Structure 1
Amino acid sequence: MDDSKKAASIKPSVSEAQAVELVGRLYGRKVSKVQPLPSYDDQNFHVLVSATQESGDLSESYVLKVLNTADSQDADLVEVQTQVMMFLNRKGFPSPTPIPTIDGKIMSLETIKEGNVNKQHLIRLLTYLPGIPLAKITLDHQNYYELGRTVAQMDKILLEEFHQSPTKSLYREDFIWNLSNIHLLEKYLHEMEEGETLVIIKQVIQQFKEKIRPNISKFRKGFIHGDFNDCNILQKPVDSPADQVEDKAEKISPKAALWISGILDFGDLSYGCLVYELVIAMTYSMIERQDCLAFGGHTMAGFESVIPLTDDEREAVFPLVLCRYSQSLVISRHTLLLHPENEEYLTISTRYGRDRLHQLWQVGKEAAERIWFEIVKSYQR
């Protein structure tokens, strides 16, 4: 099977009725409402359930997560991802936690009929975290400083206290979203439209191969979330009840103090380079900003207040940010060709990512670093 057909076949196509049946059979919950949620390769459902099959009085919200067939074959990887979520939740980070099945498991491998084919998917029922994605909220520099600080605190506590040896699959050696694998984008470049964007991406890949890849061994390693972007981080006003469901950004006052209420999607978790975590957070903090460099600088300052970068890591930040924008554009284009029905979700980042890639390419490494490093210094005075 070629890559395109393989990628097209791994995404689940579970119906709402099947989702209801899974929740009832595996978790003993009676579903009163089910609603599909956006997802890249998996399938997610927001389900409202009662505490027991017999009673419909107590309503609780959960997310039913149906993993794609490829990840479902690697139970060890999913097990560690889930254990990390549980560990971080115990340490005070607002990450989802799994609801045990009736027989006490944190996940269940199920054979599900999809069309005329039976497919196997790992199933988890996760706690639902209320809040609004950062992408829908107007935030200031201080918010992004706190964002950078939070992701560094998360990585630091994993590094120091999560004592579990990484399995081979956690190194994500062939994972296309791993920033160590930018060279793998080359096999998808023929799907990109000709033009200046493609010219820049080709040069970014070449720079990666010449200047970043030979130095990856110098970067410090640890467990990283791997996708700390503005759609995976939820926020709520500080003065709102913890269990109040906020889903509309227009309800939030521009002057409201916000707190991070949810850190979602640990599907890209890896044992990788700590600097990648910062780069990903910076990439998405800048993506919708004309004055993007300032927002990236404040994110960096927050991160470095907890995990100061080494000289080698600092040197790599700018080219790696270009790599992440290139990654997003190329992979989104490839996935869109496979799943045109999911265009709205798949093009969330590409709408602005192309502009930011062009902008940073024109600004250049030296000018961008001057702004970023000066902002970092301003917090240290």
Structure 2
Amino acid sequence: MPADQGIVGDTRRDSDAANAWLLTPPPGVPIAFAAEVAAREYGFRGPIASLSSERDRNFVVDAAGAGAGGARIVLKFINSAEPQDELDCQIALLEHLETSAVRAITPRPLRTVSAARHFVATTPAGAVLRGRAYGFLEGRAATEAPASPGLRRALGRRLAEFDHALAGFTHPGTSRPFLWDLMQIGALLPLTHVIDEPQLRAFARAFLERFVAVIRPRLAELPHQAIHNDLSKSNYLVAPEDAARIVAILDFGDVVHAPRVVDLAITASYQIGDAADPLLALEEVAAGFDSVTPLAHEERACLRDLVTARLVQRLVITEWRAAHFPENRVYILRHNPEARRVLRLLSGLP
């Protein structure tokens, strides 16, 4: 059998297993029902508002309005296609981080009034939903903070501290079939048809084939652990008075077990799009990481390929999901133009 046929055959099977969750819409949850659940399950009563999300349905409940001392929680209703193992994994991860050095910048998991780790609730329409809650962290959205070398280095340092805290965490949920796992990126080969630009589509397909055949085997010997896997600008907060100080790391729904350097590459991929020199920006994030966790030569050598892999991943998955969820297209494609632009720079395409 030719090598490329083997790759495509394997990745089609992987894609079938990995894409069900990403093609299931978020649960429909009336805001009044969410308020009832917050009161019943957690004892929180106060103003409630929706939060943006791709796969789940999230709300923030502000108990300050009910005289509860200003506490706020995030109430999350889980996507119906999410395996129970994955829900358990995220809760276990938050509990693990509670005893770590980064506990001040990660959300605090909450138990229900009956001390359960998550709740089950039935909507007025009869849908049975699972959910959980955690403390709300204050800070300025990183999407509103000016990019700078100082911010990029600070982010690299914070990521290294976070990964150090995660190094001892293990759970079966980190090894699931998942299209956002770079180690499973070959599963995107059957989906590259969604890229509408012929040159970019050809580059993406050739790169994915090379990644599976050449790059991924080289990663096997590098340090592996649980990683955040999605530290985009939507998933961390900075101090209101100091845009170069990271005060919160959020959203652990993409956590996987993978080479540690993958976390650095993914984080850097979101920092180079607005830089005059993308490769210099990549080095600034890497320098911050290296100041806490020194990078081996082999890890540095694969950084550019891993950044390119993430950009291809972002381009293919977001185009594919936007076609299935046109009502949420703007949110899903929010990083897509940047991914296209930087991918052209790194690939030499016009």
TM beyond 0.5: yes
Q: Does 1:40 align with 2:54?
A: yes
Task: After TM superposition, give the deviation of residue 132 of structure 1 in Å.
Answer: 2.1
Q: Contact 2:77 / 2:132 at 8 angstroms: preserved in 1?
A: yes
SS at match of 2:49: strand
Output the amino acid matched with 2:129: Q
Q: Does 1:347 align with 2:333?
A: yes
RMSD over equivalenced CA pairs, Å: 2.3
Q: Does 1:227 align with 2:211?
A: no
**CA distance in 1 between partners of 2:191 and 2:53 (Å):** 21
**CA distance in 2 between partners of 1:84 and 1:318 (Å):** 31
Q: Which one of the candidate residues 26, 35, 38 is aligned to 2:41?
A: 26
Output the amino acid matched with 1:169: G
Q: Contact 2:273 / 2:342 at 8 angstroms: preserved in 1?
A: yes
Q: Contact 1:85 / 1:266 at 8 angstroms: preserved in 2?
A: no
Corresponding residue of 1:78 = 90
SS at match of 1:151: helix
Corresponding residue of 1:167 = 171
SS at match of 1:360: helix
Structure 2 vs 1, CA of residues 291 and 351 (structure 1 numbering), >3 Å: closer, same or farther? Answer: same
Task: After TM superposition, give the deviation of residue 279 of structure 1 in Å.
Answer: 0.4
**CA distance in 2 between partners of 1:281 and 1:87 (Å):** 24
Corresponding residue of 2:29 = 14
Corresponding residue of 1:321 = 307
Post-superposition CA distance 1:33-83 (Å, at most 9, x none): 2211111211111221259xxx54644322111121232522432332332
SS at match of 1:71: coil
Task: After TM superposition, give the deviation of residue 7 of structure 1 in Å.
Answer: 4.0
Corresponding residue of 2:109 = 98
**CA distance in 2 between partners of 1:305 and 1:91 (Å):** 17
Output the amino acid matched with 1:204: F
Output the amino acid matched with 2:118: M
Task: After TM superposition, give the deviation of residue 104 of structure 1 in Å.
Answer: 1.4
Q: Which one of the candidate residues 185, 188, 200 is aligned to 1:185?
A: 188
Q: Contact 1:151 / 1:303 at 8 angstroms: preserved in 2?
A: yes
With normalisation by structure 2, the TM-score equals 0.87
**CA distance in 2 between partners of 1:272 and 1:110 (Å):** 34
Corresponding residue of 1:149 = 157
Q: Does 1:120 align with 2:129?
A: yes
Q: Which one of the candidate residues 37, 40, 63 is aligned to 1:49?
A: 63
Task: After TM superposition, give the deviation of residue 127 of structure 1 in Å.
Answer: 1.1
**CA distance in 1 between partners of 2:312 and 2:291 (Å):** 28
Corresponding residue of 2:12 = none
Task: After TM superposition, give the deviation of residue 288 of structure 1 in Å.
Answer: 2.7
Task: After TM superposition, give the deviation of residue 93 of structure 1 in Å.
Answer: 4.2
**CA distance in 2 between partners of 1:325 and 1:44 (Å):** 27
Corresponding residue of 1:282 = 268
Task: After TM superposition, give the deviation of residue 206 of structure 1 in Å.
Answer: 1.7
Structure 2 vs 1, CA of residues 18 and 85 (structure 1 numbering), >3 Å: closer, same or farther? Answer: farther
Structure 2 vs 1, CA of residues 76 and 6 (structure 1 numbering), >3 Å: closer, same or farther? Answer: closer
Output the amino acid matched with 2:114: D
Corresponding residue of 2:7 = none
**CA distance in 1 between partners of 2:255 and 2:21 (Å):** 22
Task: After TM superposition, give the deviation of residue 145 of structure 1 in Å.
Answer: 0.8
Structure 2 vs 1, CA of residues 342 and 66 (structure 1 numbering), >3 Å: closer, same or farther? Answer: same
Query: After the TM superposition, which of the residue ranges 348-357 and 62-71 deviates more from structure 2?
Result: 62-71
Structure 2 vs 1, CA of residues 5 and 307 (structure 1 numbering), >3 Å: closer, same or farther? Answer: closer
Q: Which one of the candidate residues 278, 292, 298 is aligned to 1:292?
A: 278
For structure 1, list consecutive stretches of 5 or more residues without a partner in the other structure.
239-255, 364-381
**CA distance in 1 between partners of 2:68 and 2:260 (Å):** 46
Q: Contact 1:29 / 1:50 at 8 angstroms: preserved in 2?
A: no
Q: Contact 2:154 / 2:245 at 8 angstroms: preserved in 1?
A: no
Corresponding residue of 2:13 = none
**CA distance in 2 between partners of 1:288 and 1:224 (Å):** 25
Q: Contact 2:56 / 2:79 at 8 angstroms: preserved in 1?
A: yes
Output the amino acid matched with 1:264: L
SS at match of 2:24: helix
Q: Contact 1:72 / 1:109 at 8 angstroms: preserved in 2?
A: no
**CA distance in 2 between partners of 1:126 and 1:150 (Å):** 21
Post-superposition CA distance 1:195-253 (Å, at most 9, x none): 22212211220220222122232111112111111111100145xxxxxxxxxxxxxxx
Identity of matched residues, %: 28
**CA distance in 1 between partners of 2:192 and 2:243 (Å):** 43
